[in-house]
A and B are shown apart, each in its own frame.
Chain A
Amino acid sequence: MTRTRRPVIGPGSVLRLPSAKIALVILAVVIVIAVFGSALAPQNPLTINANALFQGPSASHLLGTDYLGRDVLSRLMAGTRLSVLTAFEAVAIGLVIGAPLGVAAVFLGRWFDFAVNRVADALMTLPYIFFVVAVTAALGNGLVQAMFAVGFLLWPGFFRITRAATLEFARAQYVEAAELLGASKLHVIRVHVVRKVLPTMAVTTASATAAALLAVSFLTFLGIGVVAPAPTWGGVLSSDLDYLSQAPWAPFIPGLLIAVTVGALNALADAFRDRTAPGALPAADPVIKTHSTLEVLEAAGDRQSAQSAA
């Protein structure tokens, strides 16, 4: 059973496939900077120059200088690595906790399933920032702790999806049919389940990364997890706010950077969603697009649990 992938056009959305291409380009640039940033940066992001405070863009400082005379472009490039890596870490944590739990919830009995579902609900009740701040109160003000907290809030989304996928697999008739026809379990998994689950997983992962990146930016903006003088996107934005009257243009730069990257990730998630073959597990109601927060995963999870509620 082969299906050609037909681009499905979302209702009234401008985020069509060409946008996905642009998004991929943007993300590629960001990842390259994250990996090679320190080599690519034109200047040392830590060099303080007392005579060159708050300069505007110039030949030697493409994006100007900050409150200590440091080159803004180099700082943002250096900050990319930290921000992007920690976002990935958070997503990884969410995946590593959520996916196995999703599978386990199906096979370990109703009570376990019920309990984990309620814990997932409870975690989603809290607006994430309060939870993360509480974690830093308990465990210390580091980015590692904060990222663990964010990752911990991402697992319910992954949990719901893997649970729904596993349920579907466990009950699907086509699985039985395929097995009756002689296909091995492995073949069934690979051909049917993966085809159905992978697109959803891609959507979820992209959305989760967007949410995590936003969370990193926000947390570093609030000062959580910032280790001076290491630059972070949110940290640069925060100090720009402190000197607004001396450099009113300054916050737009990191702000734009954050928005563009998060937007690209969301666009990617949308593209995955749009291109999903109709038979696949629905990732989320396509009309609720581009929530750029953690709560999108709950919405995604809803649809599965609603449809495959035990």
Chain B
Amino acid sequence: MPVLRLHPHVRLRPPGRARRAVAAAAALIALSAAVAACGSSGGSATADGAAGAAATTAGVSGTLNWEWELPTSWDPVTSSAGWDMHALGLVYASITTLDPSGTVEPGLASSWKYAADGKSVTFTLRPGLKFSDGDPLTATSVAENVKRGQTQGNSTVASELSVISKVVVNSPTSFTLDLTQVDYQVPDLLAGKDGMIVNPAYFKNVTALATQPEGAGPFSLTAYVPDSHASLVRNPDYWDASQIHIANFNVLDITQPEQILSALESGEVNVAYIAGNQVAAAKAAGFKIDVIPSEVVDELDIQTTTAPFSNPDVVKAINYAIDRQALLQVQASGYGAVAYQPFPAGFVGYSAKLADEYPYNPTLAKQLLAQAGYAKGLKITLTAPSADDSVAEQIQGQLAQVGITATIGNISTDTETQYLYLDKTIPFAVDGTAGRMSPVEMLDVLYSQQGLMNVDGKATTTPAAVTSALSAALTVPLDSPGYPAALQNAVATAVQDEPTHIWLYTQPRIFAYSPTVSGIPSDLVQQRWEGVTVGS
């Protein structure tokens, strides 16, 4: 997944991104996260009290300047990083949404119903939906979007949409998705990038969508300077516009952690995404801190089809050689937890079986290396996007203790997803997941043959056990009592049978923000802005 910004160790290594330079117009877009209220799935009580309190009374005003990473592409179909969903969610509305705890809620669709056999699901759209430029959003728009996502040559969501065999338009506000197999996670799937609806009127010039998005989301883009900033304004036609109280929204891309703090202090940014080791400084400067549990886990991608990693003992040795607790301490000042699997503790997919999979054991690591024939040492390259140098350096030091000499290769964050995910030419890299709306989708992206984040890619075939465990998890309805067990089994099977990801630690989403901002909704996966107000 997606390019994860691991903040504290941002270096000035070839500054892959230029920053700043806000051009005029602060387009503040307030996305009000409307989610919470909608009824049909019995959403749990939301944790963001601020959203509820401010919802109906506040007028629309204020500018929110959000320090955050700009997307690899403003077109959800060609976006190559899962992390993009946060920014894309500003301009696009998805068919469903997730409430803060991760339960699926209505979005563009007000309700849905599975057929008895679980092989098709019918969605009902809200009436009167419009894109930000006024065009109507109908079931036909959805059908065209699904088709494009499945068939466009450079689509990065094709494999995730492959479960949909056909879209049947029943009426302007109703469509049915026929599925290739029983899959109860389709509504979750459509809560994120996969369900973002782009205005089909612009499909004749798809390459322009990468810099000029056309959606139906809470905000619409008015200006975009790559690597620098994006300016947006509130979209009054958004289906939940009543929950959006911010008039102008700016996304500012600042990679240097010091400059994030200083931008906060000078007021240029009023909500900043910071790392654990900046919390103390931010608090001392008088900013409020929200630590939001998230699905983000830092990890290392490893190509088990490339020597020397094709030897399972080598991969195990690396797992034991890494002191995850020390990493957590230095990189995040302890915010987060050591992880050996893709979901954090407390999440339904967390498997207790993996709780202590690879305790730090350098002696065992050396033994395994000797067993693999590398008693005299091993030379490898660890690639890190420029932002991750500190992690890479620390891991390099830890690997050196067991006789592995790791050279750090830098790639620019601009081309990282191209080489790592699309071309799959990097055997060992520092990376992280951004989370997906559907847990099985996450596993799919990580471990299935066509998964974006599976750096083995076509060179390998997914073990049968993993495939069947994943299907099994898909065929269990989300509210059935057997679901957690099925999901956890899928997780354990995938992690143990496919060692292509070395999990490190979870990373909560930490925001430092000015007291004029009412609060940040604590969304588990995609950050939403319903209910947020900005005072003056």
A and B touch in the complex (CB under 8 A): yes
Q: Is A227 an interface residue (CB 8 A)?
A: yes
**Known interface pairs A48-B397, A242-B258; A224-B14 also in contact (CB < 8 Å):** yes
- Let me know if A245 and B281 touch, CB within 8 A: yes
Q: Is B300 an interface residue (CB 8 A)?
A: no
With the chains together, A46 CA to B407 CA distance in Å? 14
From the candidates B10, B14, B281, B397, name the one contacting A222 in the complex (CB within 8 A). B14
- Let me know if B330 and A68 touch, CB within 8 A: yes
- Let me know if A68 and B281 touch, CB within 8 A: no
Please give, as numbers and ranges, the residues of chain A lying within 8 Å of B256 by CB-CB distance.
241-242
From the candidates A53, A67, A223, A245, name the one contacting B13 in the complex (CB within 8 A). A223
From the candidates A46, A51, A68, A223, name the one contacting B15 in the complex (CB within 8 A). A223
Please give, as numbers and ranges, the residues of chain A lying within 8 Å of B386 by CB-CB distance.
223
Can you report 17 residue pairs joining A to B where beta carbons are below 8 Å apart? A48-B397, A50-B330, A67-B330, A67-B390, A68-B330, A68-B390, A68-B394, A221-B12, A222-B12, A222-B15, A223-B410, A228-B393, A229-B408, A238-B11, A238-B12, A241-B258, A242-B9
Q: Is B518 an interface residue (CB 8 A)?
A: no
Mark B292-322 against chain A: 1 for CB-CB distance below 8 A, else 0. Answer: 0000000000000000000000000000000
- Let me know if A243 and B396 touch, CB within 8 A: no
A223 to chain B: closest residue by CB: B13
Of all A-B residue pairs in the complex, the 6 with the closest CB atoms, nearest first, are A223-B13, A48-B397, A50-B326, A228-B408, A238-B12, A244-B258
- Let me know if B14 and A239 touch, CB within 8 A: no
- Let me know if A241 and B390 touch, CB within 8 A: no
Please give, as numbers and ranges, the residues of chain B lying within 8 Å of A117 by CB-CB distance.
none
Please give, as numbers and ranges, the residues of chain A lying within 8 Å of B183 by CB-CB distance.
none
- Let me know if A239 and B394 touch, CB within 8 A: no
- Let me know if A226 and B397 touch, CB within 8 A: no
- Let me know if A245 and B261 touch, CB within 8 A: yes
Q: Is A308 an interface residue (CB 8 A)?
A: no
B328 to chain A, nearest CB (A): 9
Q: Is B329 an interface residue (CB 8 A)?
A: yes
- Let me know if A229 and B14 touch, CB within 8 A: no
Q: Is A246 an interface residue (CB 8 A)?
A: yes
Mark A238-258 against chain B: 1 for CB-CB distance below 8 A, else 0. Answer: 110111111000000000000
- Let me know if B408 and A246 touch, CB within 8 A: no
- Let me know if A246 and B394 touch, CB within 8 A: no
**Known interface pairs A46-B397, A228-B389, A228-B396; A239-B11 also in contact (CB < 8 Å):** yes
Q: Is A141 an interface residue (CB 8 A)?
A: yes
Task: List A residues at the B interface (Cβ < 8 Å).
Answer: 46-48, 50-51, 53, 67-69, 141, 221-224, 226-229, 238-239, 241-246
- Let me know if A246 and B14 touch, CB within 8 A: no
Please give, as numbers and ranges, the residues of chain A lying within 8 Å of B390 by CB-CB distance.
67-68
B412 to chain A, nearest CB (A): 10
Please give, as numbers and ranges, the residues of chain B lying within 8 Å of A69 by CB-CB distance.
330
B214 to chain A, nearest CB (A): 35
- The B interface, classified by DSSP as helix, strand, loop or mixed, is helix
With the chains together, A68 CA to B330 CA distance in Å? 7
With the chains together, A227 CA to B408 CA distance in Å? 7
Task: List B residues at the A interface (Cβ < 8 Å).
Answer: 8-15, 256-258, 261, 277-278, 281, 326, 329-330, 386, 389-390, 392-394, 396-398, 400, 407-408, 410
With the chains together, A46 CA to B397 CA distance in Å? 8
- Let me know if B14 and A245 touch, CB within 8 A: no
From the candidates A47, A51, A223, A227, name the one contacting B11 in the complex (CB within 8 A). A223
- Let me know if A242 and B14 touch, CB within 8 A: no
Please give, as numbers and ranges, the residues of chain A lying within 8 Å of B398 by CB-CB distance.
48
A277 to chain B, nearest CB (A): 47
- Let me know if A226 and B258 touch, CB within 8 A: no
A243 to chain B: closest residue by CB: B258
With the chains together, A300 CA to B344 CA distance in Å? 65
B391 to chain A, nearest CB (A): 10
Please give, as numbers and ranges, the residues of chain A lying within 8 Å of B326 by CB-CB distance.
50
- Let me know if A242 and B11 touch, CB within 8 A: yes
From the candidates A68, A223, A243, A245, name the one contacting B393 in the complex (CB within 8 A). A68
With the chains together, A93 CA to B281 CA distance in Å? 47
Please give, as numbers and ranges, the residues of chain A lying within 8 Å of B407 by CB-CB distance.
227
Q: Among the interface residues A224, A226, A228, which one has the most CB atoms of the partner chain B within 10 A?
A: A228
Apart from A141-B410, A229-B397, A241-B12: 17 A-B pairs, beta carbons within 8 A: A46-B397, A46-B400, A48-B330, A48-B394, A50-B326, A50-B329, A50-B394, A68-B393, A222-B12, A223-B386, A228-B393, A228-B408, A229-B393, A241-B258, A242-B12, A242-B257, A246-B281
With the chains together, A239 CA to B390 CA distance in Å? 9
With the chains together, A222 CA to B14 CA distance in Å? 6
- Let me know if A223 and B14 touch, CB within 8 A: yes
A221 to chain B: closest residue by CB: B12
With the chains together, A238 CA to B330 CA distance in Å? 19
Please give, as numbers and ranges, the residues of chain B lying within 8 Å of A224 by CB-CB distance.
14
With the chains together, A68 CA to B10 CA distance in Å? 13
B330 to chain A, nearest CB (A): 5
Please give, as numbers and ranges, the residues of chain A lying within 8 Å of B397 by CB-CB distance.
46-48, 68, 229
Please give, as numbers and ranges, the residues of chain A lying within 8 Å of B14 by CB-CB distance.
141, 222-224
Q: Among the interface residues B11, B256, B396, which one has the most CB atoms of the partner chain A within 10 A?
A: B11
B10 to chain A: closest residue by CB: A242
